Structure 1
């Protein structure tokens, strides 16, 4: 269960006009109509689920991302949407995308309050670069009792450049790593390795436990404009 939670969280923020500001296309497909699919697997390569994304609208440099989440048997689980912003120098992804979609569906009838810091990806990525941290905090009102949850992306660094191949093709990527810390009653820590390509976004994402053992991975399995 822990593996599925962290992979779904990773999936939702790692993958996103044909209009004049071409610098908005850096490391996300910031183009209306783009569709892409990310499949997540357990450590042995068994399929655990799929997220299908659609850049449904772009207005005033803000893209609306629609995500449909499916389980291992391709049954639709839930849907969600959030925004990705471009300021000409970087992409900024809504911190609410860090929220696990299953939990959103489970608590949809309850009062939720979100605060946090957006996930940023600058256009001028370079090996050795340190990236800003990001976080999401949720306060859930459960009939007078408040339950808190937090997700933190810490120590984000650009490690190297390398080529990565998935069912969607072969891509020249920047490899990024960071620590992912979740707290909801108990605290869980993970190490994330992620590969992103210009104009496409996330190509592959790997989750490791505190002992550096692979827990699961996700990869781009289709991409179209």
Structure 2
């Protein structure tokens, strides 16, 4: 169960790790073939791994544009240890990610083959184009209810208190960017255990996420992720 929870948190946060260049979205990619790389650091600043993203397909459905994003996680030695994909939609100057696609299909099939019944519910993550300091964003969540041999289990991940804190210029190895800082609280519950974290995300128009920092409940830094390269 811990593995599922950690993965959900990772993918929920990964929604902000993407870059963008599309008339509909200022902060998310809608160009097929674009690829992006982020380096993940621990609290001491040591490299923990690499996260890469690539846009495999883009399609139009009426007034909406839908993109499929491939995600791959590698350790600090470059060995790939996980990959998945998910979809998101841009319409009416708003990007949303389908909460059902947050849970990898391959993992779902694995648990279903073990006789586990699963139901997924929640609400999509949304980020508008008109970010400004002080703006509050809609909460997001995903809940997975499972049943196996008569035993019920559930996992939930909630993203709350989402708001734009400030605007500032930051520099990474990929360049210098003017960013909005978006903060949020993430709460995961499983098997009676609750984990609370908070994060700050630096989002730049035309680039997307440049930096992310995750903190423990007491405010101590846990990890950070920075943009290291991207190809449009």
Normalised to the residue count of structure 2, the TM-score between the two structures is: 0.84
Hey, what does 1:67 align to over in structure 2? Answer: 71
CA-to-partner distance for each residue in 1:53-108, whole Å, 9 max, x for gaps?
00111101100101111122211112111111000311112224655x7xx76665
Pair member with larger Rg: 2
Hey, what does 2:115 align to over in structure 1? Answer: none
CA distance in 2, matches of 1:108, 1:165: 42
> By how many angstroms is 1:146 displaced?
3.1
Match of 2:10 among 8, 11, 16: 8
Normalised to the residue count of structure 1, the TM-score between the two structures is: 0.87
> By how many angstroms is 1:211 displaced?
1.4
Hey, what does 1:53 align to over in structure 2? Answer: 53
The CA RMSD over aligned residues, in Å, is 2.5
Hey, what does 1:32 align to over in structure 2? Answer: 32
CA distance in 2, matches of 1:146, 1:182: 17
Long gaps (5+) in structure 1: none
Hey, what does 2:111 align to over in structure 1? Answer: 110
For the 8 Å contact 1:139–1:146, the answer to whether it is kept is: yes
Match of 2:143 among 137, 140, 156: 137
> By how many angstroms is 1:180 displaced?
0.7
Question: Which residues in structure 2 correspond to 1:147-158 (within 5 Å)?
Answer: 147-158=153-164
For the 8 Å contact 2:17–2:209, the answer to whether it is kept is: yes
> By how many angstroms is 1:143 displaced?
4.1
CA distance in 2, matches of 1:65, 1:162: 28
CA distance in 1, matches of 2:99, 2:157: 10
Aligned residues: 218
CA distance in 1, matches of 2:141, 2:122: 5
- SS state at 1:132 partner: coil
